[in-house]
Chains A and B, each alone.
Chain A
Amino acid sequence: MQLDLLVDQFKKKDPSAFEKLYGMYADNICGVINTIVKNDGIAQEICQDVFIKIWNNSESYNSSKGRFFTWILNIARNAAIDEIRSRSYKNEKKNLSADYFVGILQHKEDEVSAVDTNGLRKLVNNLKEKCVQIIELLYFRGYTQKDAAEELAIPIGTVKTRNRSCISQLRENMESK
């Protein structure tokens, strides 16, 4: 398991292991942040801070508690949500439910962005809105099942299965690409 070895080395503050992990996940982490802040420059700044935080807290990761990516995903979305809340809490609270990550696609019409909008569009094009919503809440906002159920006004037992089918759709889109 190469990933496990890398993570072990990283926990021992090995910069070369950290560099490999950065190569593996930096784009994804910056993308997660961008789904929340929806601004290239801000996303890049937070992304850098997040990796510094990841390095400084490397000892606190424990593989028995989850995947390494899940761990850094959690750090990234917390940092990004902190950022938008500190900037304009009320507005973001309102937008939080209304403006999902696909907003990146609409926003970018008149803005210069490095985001691969075509690739993103292809990946999510046939996803139902309820899939976009549930993926947003669970992966990019870190909502619990209960919170997501309330937000989407569905029974809590439905969250798990609906998400499963939405992720399956996403995986099909990846394979057919």
Chain B
Amino acid sequence: MDVQKYIASGILELYIAGILSEKENLEIANYAKAYPEIQNEIVAIEASILELSKKASPGLKYSFKSIMDKINDEIKVISLDDKRSSSLLSYVGWAASLLLAVGMFWMYQQNQELKSDIQVVEQQNNSLEQQIADTDSSLGKTKELLNTIRDKNIRVISLGGQEISPTSYAKAYWNKENQKVYIDAKGLPEPPDGFVYQVWSLKLSPLTPTSMGLLEGFILDENKVFALNNPNESEAFGITLEPAGGSESPTLEQLYTLGVVSAS
């Protein structure tokens, strides 16, 4: 190849300008290795551009050290930033999901507690309503009872304790109009198992007892007031302890209380 002609073509100047194709660049690099004249020419052309550009230089403001410092700072900043942002992000992410899980668990717990609280309160509510109903009904009964014994037709007969139980007492509230007797048996002892109190209407001469009924459920009855029918022309009332189910005629040895109807 004609080296001088190649040099004279001006392609080496363009090589230094960096505006040739990759193929041309590679070709010239190979020629430069093979032909020292070409290599020298390249260096000389480059030197002229180096000289020209150097003359246009405003001088160096930054030392090489300051440039390396900046490069190292950038690396630090980048790696620091990366670490921070990624670790911070992941921390924040984990913290958020943990918080969410804890929060949801807490809310679930709260919900369960509230549900069970509601159940307890509902039960309490029911029981209170029941108590109110009971009290109402108890109050109603008491009022009814009070009205009953206050009735102007009521006659009150005190039944005193007899030989077998001198401390016993009872009261009979007799409404002769509607043939009812209310026995207040609060002053009687609880009957032993298998026995029951029996109330008798008595005619005195001759002594004729007529059974008015049993004080059933004595132990469980709260106010110990029992209503009995009494169609008889009673002159006295007596209460005897009889075997469960009652007797045809009173067992006089077991007469607990007795009271005579005063003549009105």
Interface residues of A (CB under 8 A from B): 15, 18-19, 22-23, 25-32, 34-35, 40-41, 43-45, 47-48, 51-52, 55-56, 63-67, 69-71, 73-74, 101, 104, 113-116, 119-120, 123-124, 135, 138-139, 142-145, 160-161, 163-164, 167, 170-171, 174
Contact = CB atoms under 8 A, between A and B. Distances in A.
A161 B7 CA distance: 11
B55 A26 contact: no
Most buried by B among A29, A43, A66: A66
Interface of B: 8-11, 13-20, 22, 25-26, 29, 42, 44-62, 64, 66-68, 70-71, 74
Contacts, number: 166
Contacts of B46: 67, 69-70
**Chain B contact residues: over half helix, strand or loop, or mixed?**
helix
Nearest to B8: A164
A132 B29 CA distance: 27
B52 A52 contact: no
Given A27-B60, A28-B50, 8 more contacts: A22-B67, A41-B61, A44-B58, A52-B67, A65-B29, A114-B58, A115-B57, A115-B58
Contacts of B56: 31-32, 34-35, 101, 104, 115, 120
Contacts of B14: 138, 145, 160, 163
B54 A27 contact: yes
A167 B42 CA distance: 12
